[in-house]
Structure 1
Amino acid sequence: MQEEADAEFNHNDFIQQAKSMVEDAIGHLDPWEMQDLVAGILRAMGYQVRVSPKGPDGGVDILAHKDAFGFEKPVVKVQVKHRKDTSSAPEIQQLLGASPMGGSCIFVATGGFKSTAVKVAQQNDVKLIDLPGLADLLTDWYESLPNETKALIPMKKVYVPFK
């Protein structure tokens, strides 16, 4: 009985270590690579994606939509912040200001979110994705990612026996 508990404990440790390694790999990307990573995940999910060029973007880094022309609603507007600092409510509000009626918003912040930002996001149906959430999306959609996105963070599937 104790051996089973030890094996399960080790299995959970292994999974947590793997998640930590994915988060570390994401943390080593530069801001433009991070933007490309998020765009690649959206492509894997079936979205058509347009990434804003480097420079001022008016609060929107990525536009995503289901149809090739971008007419089908909802258009998804994505802001990506790759830094250690937490993102604030005014940053969420800036993204909302760039979003027309009927548009959906996603805010990705590897540094997490201040409580005021979470409140504003909840009140306005903005999807928040922090570093652990992004790591989960990356591993969930990895097999479907475009090759150029996989090249940003090369990973290999590992099978581990457990009961």
Structure 2
Amino acid sequence: MLWSFVHDISLGDIILSPKKETRKLLIGIVTGPYLYDPKAIDRDYPNIHAVEWKGVIPYDNVPREIWRSMTAWQTLFELSSPEAVNAALRLMESIQTGVTPRPIETPERTAVAMDEGQRLFDETMSKSMEILATHFDGFSGWEFQELVWATLKAAGLYPKPLRKGPDQTVDIEAYRDPLQLGPPRILVQVKHRRDPVSGPEMQQFIGSMNREGDIGLYISTGGFSQAARQFAEKSHKPVNLMGWEDFVNLFLEVYERLDNTFKAWIPMGTVKILLRRKEEVQRD
């Protein structure tokens, strides 16, 4: 997420920011380059892009193309369809020309209900991610390492037992075969903190991959610095980077296969929400 915030946002880009509390969408334009300034707003939020907010749109007036393109489980993302991009441009144009966007008209009452179902699903996913983030923040480094071990096991790998001790270059050693003979040997480093992984930390990890066929997996809840990413890309051995969102997506995907001990750490339930009408399914 931090990489995208720093490198993918450009001057003049349109920014959309949903506010669930007020059910309104803020729309603005980026007016300045990326800045790192811990004193500007809050030391916990030192990464900054200046945005001039142009308007506030009620959720009911936001084009459907925009909602459908939004990725609820990510904090920062780019609209994924040309229709959504065009809808955002039209929305900005209507604000700049003083034309109030009209509420979305739906020919059938069911269509309104279905849009509400999709919206409820998106909001529920977003809130669930926020709750998980807060819950995981309370884990110690060792506890989070245990959770990663269990998640990899549930994903079909065969990790060796964990060894508790001082911080190590490699935290988990896993294999694809049950006898753990390999290759490949999958070496995993886990960092559970707010700071991104530095270049020297990545170099040290890459240096530990000294066997034929070794594969690296670096999991960091604080993301990765630009230098760390560059070292990983240029590594003589494949190094896979997994940030916060990627790890949570994997965790949710394999949750039902987790050992009961770890499920008890993070008890989760299932909610069924109707997203599509029967007629839409039949047309597909």
TM norm structure 2: 0.53
Aligned pairs for 1:36-47 (under 5 A) are 36-47=146-157
Q: Secondary structure at the match of 1:70?
A: coil
Point out the structure with max Rg over C-alpha.
Answer: 2
Equivalent position SS for 1:154: coil
Q: Distance in 1 between matches of 2:119 and 2:178?
A: 47
Paired positions, count: 163
Quickly say closer, same or farther: Cα 1:123–1:152, change in 2 above 3 A.
Answer: farther
Partner of 2:191: 81
Deviation at 1:14, TM superposition (A): 1.8
- Determine the C-alpha separation between the residues in 2 that align with 1:50 and 1:81: 18
Q: TM-score, normalised by structure 1?
A: 0.90
Is 1:18 aligned to 2:128, yes or no?
Answer: yes
1:57 CA drift (Å)? 5.3
3-state DSSP of counterpart to 1:140: helix
Q: Which residue of 1 aligns with 2:172?
A: 62
Question: Matched residues in 2 for 1:22 and 1:68: separation?
Answer: 31
Checking the alignment, whether the CA contact within 8 Å between 1:80 and 1:107 is kept in structure 2 is yes
How far 1:162 moved relative to its partner? 2.1
Partner of 2:225: 114
Amino acid at match of 2:121: H
**Root-mean-square deviation over aligned CA pairs:** 1.8
Structure 1: runs of 5 or more not aligned: none
In the alignment, what sits opposite 1:152?
265
User: What is the Cα deviation at residue 69 of structure 1?
Assistant: 3.4
Greater fraction helix:
1
Identity across matched positions, percent: 31
5+ residue gaps in structure 2? 1-105, 277-284
The residue type equivalent to 1:64 in the other structure is A
One-letter amino acid of the counterpart of residue 134, structure 1: F
Tell which has more relative contact order, 1 or 2 (C-alpha 8 A, sep 6+): 1
What is the distance in 1 between the residues matched to 2:126 and 2:213?
38
Contact 2:154 2:254 in 1 (8 A): yes
Contact 2:158 2:178 in 1 (8 A): yes
Instruction: Give how far 1:5 is off.
Output: 4.1
Tell me how far apart the structure 2 counterparts of residues 160 and 9 of structure 1 sit (CA, whole Å).
10
Question: Which whole-Å deviations, capped at 9, do the CAs of 1:40-72 have from their partners, x for residues lacking one?
Answer: 011112221124422235400000012233212
Aligned with 1:17: secondary structure? helix
